[in-house]
Each structure stands twice: as C-alpha cells, then as structure tokens.
C-alpha cells in the first residue's frame, strides 16, 4: 500500500518543485519496485538510511502483487527560506515547510487530529498525479 499525502505546492520554481516532490514521493514503493530506496532519498539521508543487502534487495524487488492508495490529508508546501534549526528528522529531510493555510484560507476542515484536515480534492489530486 502506498501512503500518500496530497502536496499542493506553492512558492517554488519548476526545478525546485520537481526536486522537492521527488524527495517525498515513492519512498515506500521504490524498494518494492527497484530493490533500493530512491537515489534522492539516499543522497539526503546518507548514513542514517539503512541500506539493503544484495539478498534483501533481491527479496523485496518485485515482491508486491497489489498496490493500494491510502491518502489521509493534504498540505500546502513551500521551500524552507532559512535552514531549519530542528534536529535532523524525517520531515526536516524534505527541506520544505508544511502549511495548512494559504493567504489566510485553511486547506480544509480540521478533523480530530491537529495534522489531519478533510480535503475533498486530496484523493483526486493523488490519482491524477499517479495517472
């Protein structure tokens, strides 16, 4: 199953936008398709990312019979203007800021978690992106 968030991008030039989206997409699927994590992910995470042994890569590559989409919410993302001072983490590796508002308008209705917004166009956007 692919876990997807709909990223509504603003504030990027085309090159940065593509690079930032590549950092976030297919981190779950690449090992199953290629037997390795995406190159961009390896370049960013470096030695914090466990590597697959040749045996593990062979075992996982092509091992999935089915892919489903599990889409939770949507965000607006923008390029981080200043280096993040927070400790290195999963989310800081992306080099983007997550925003639930743009120009004072919230992306959707807040659900029962502070990170979860009901965005009716979220799944539509993911399916169109994958198409």
| Average pLDDT of span 17-46 | 74
Lowest model confidence (mean pLDDT) among 68-82, 83-97, 101-115: 83-97
| For residue 11, pLDDT beyond 60 | no
Three-state secondary structure call for residue 2: strand
- For residue 76, what pLDDT is reported? 79
Does 95 have pLDDT greater than 50?
A: yes
Which pLDDT does position 27 carry in this prediction? 67
For residue 19, the model assigns a pLDDT of: 57
Other CB atoms within 10 Å distance of the CB of residue 20: 21
3-state secondary structure of 114: coil
Burial of 105 (0-12, 13-18, 19+ CB in 10 A): exposed
pLDDT of residue 72: 83
Q: Report if pTM > 0.75.
A: no
H helix or E strand, kind and range, residue 98: strand 96-99
Assign 110 a pLDDT band (cuts: 50, 70, 90): very high
CA distance 131 to 113: 30
């Amino acid at each position: 199953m692919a876990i997807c968030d709909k990223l509504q991008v603003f504030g990027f030039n085309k090159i940065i936008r593509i690079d930032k989206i590549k950092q976030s997409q297919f981190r779950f699927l690449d090992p199953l398709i290629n037997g390795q994590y995406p190159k961009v992910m390896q370049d960013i995470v470096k030695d914090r990312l466990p590597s697959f042994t040749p045996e593990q890569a062979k075992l996982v590559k092509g091992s999935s019979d089915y892919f489903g989409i599990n889409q939770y919410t949507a965000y607006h993302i923008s390029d981080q203007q200043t280096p993040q001072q927070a400790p290195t983490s999963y989310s800081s590796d992306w080099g983007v800021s997550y925003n639930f508002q743009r120009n004072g308008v919230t992306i959707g209705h807040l659900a029962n978690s502070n990170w979860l917004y009901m965005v009716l166009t979220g799944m539509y956007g993911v399916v169109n992106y994958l198409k």
